[in-house]
Chains A and B, each alone.
Chain A
Amino acid sequence: MGAQLRVYRRRMRSVKATKKITKAMELISASRIVKAQQRVNASTPYANELTRAVSAVASYSSTNHPLTTTSERPIRAAILIISADRGMAGAYSNNAIKEGEQLAALLKERGLATKSYLVGRKAINYYRFRNREIAGQWSGFSDNPTYENAKEVANALIAAFVADAQVDAAGVDEIHIVFTEFKSMLTQNAMAKRMLPLEVVESETPAPAGLLPMYEFEPNAGVVLNALLPRYIEARVFNAMLQSAASEHAARRRAMKSATDNADDLIKSLTRLANAARQAEITQEISEIVGGADALASASTGSE
């Protein structure tokens, strides 16, 4: 076998092996998207009920709760970035990190210092490589977050928020979250949202004023808000994590699909090249044989 042909065959083998891996990863991600989507859907009733409850309590009671009041002179803001633990997901982590950078720039314009809370090894490595300060970091659950994970993150954020930013260097006045919204299998959007102070937004059109329930609070509105708001933040963080996880799988599936397609193309063109090389080899051998026979024939006719 010619040297050229051998080189082509070797490259084809290696591309084929890579293709098997990317194909497997694509299939795994495809099956996990469905599961992740189901988890997002399963967590929606709780989040919706909680949002209803928070809007009800916040709009019908006049309690001034630290978690709902905006600081007059904000000096520090926390940014929670949710990224992936593993790569091979295209620009998924990069998009979230970039969105976080933009948000940080925006906050700086407003004169706020930022503190970074990071979820996922990709964001942590990005910050560590640039020697930036990390206020909190969590990793190891980006593709399958549990409520306990969300709780851990939320607790750290709430603790920082409750601490007075004016006197305590660990305190923050605002909390922003950067996550990847799962719109559909094909569309995922990195987006930044302010979590605290609360912007209680009602998605549905508000009920007519006469029908609004005047809640009685047991024991009283202050206690209810105290208990409700941490749960609300936890649910928001949990929902963001689940959506990000679903987006991560979708992004990985897409990246692996295009890798598999590229491998297919590569194999095809390598096969063509290898065929051409083999054919050239054969042609050369034939012409050598024919040339040799000709030479022999003409040599023998010449001698006669």
Chain B
Amino acid sequence: MSLKVELVSPTERVWSGEASFVSARTVEGDLGVLSNHSPLFGVLVDGAVSIKGVDGSITNFNVSGGFLSVANNRVSILTESVGK
């Protein structure tokens, strides 16, 4: 079972696809999401988001604030701006 991940900013869909692991930094601290994670809604702080795709490749993004929501193996990361 993999995660369906979407990383979107107001102007574009930055990344979308299947992933096995997502990590991000919320206001409470670093957070990792594996498949079958319980529904969660978190506020992100500026920092790195990394997405490990199903093929094992790791993509890193620098987000400035935003939100992370997890439900039913669907992860959406909303952020205002993204840098690689």
Let me know if B9 is at the binding interface, CB within 8 A: yes
When distances are taken between beta carbons in the complex, the residues of chain B under 8 Å from A211 are 72
A56 near B11 with CB under 8 A, answer: no
Residues of chain A at the chain B interface (Cβ within 8 Å): 39, 42-43, 45-47, 49-50, 52-53, 56-57, 147, 150, 211, 213-219, 223-224, 227-228, 231, 234-235, 238
Chain B residues with CB under 8 A of A50: 78
Contact A42 to B11, CB < 8 A, known contacts A213-B39, A228-B67: yes
Asked if B67 and A216 sit within 8 Å, CB to CB, the answer is: no
Task: State whether A42 touches B43 (Cβ < 8 A).
Answer: no
Can you pick out 24 interface pairs between chain A and chain B where the beta carbons lie within 8 Å of each other? Answer: A39-B11, A42-B13, A43-B10, A43-B11, A45-B8, A47-B10, A49-B8, A53-B41, A53-B69, A56-B71, A57-B41, A147-B80, A213-B71, A213-B72, A214-B39, A215-B69, A216-B41, A217-B42, A218-B42, A218-B43, A219-B43, A224-B41, A227-B67, A228-B67
How many contacts A-B (CB < 8 Å)? 82
Tell whether B1 is near chain A: CB-to-CB under 8 Å: no
Size category of the B interface is 20 to 34
CB pair B39–A215 under 8 Å, yes or no, is yes
**B12 located at the interface, meaning its Cβ lies under 8 Å from any Cβ of chain A in the complex:** yes
Task: Find A215's partner among B6, B28, B41, B78 (CB 8 Å cutoff).
Answer: B41
Cα(A226)–Cα(B69), bound, Å: 16
Nearest to A217 among chain B residues (CB) is: B41
10 smallest CB-CB distances across A and B, nearest first, come from: A213-B39, A213-B71, A218-B42, A46-B8, A215-B41, A45-B8, A147-B10, A215-B39, A45-B13, A49-B76
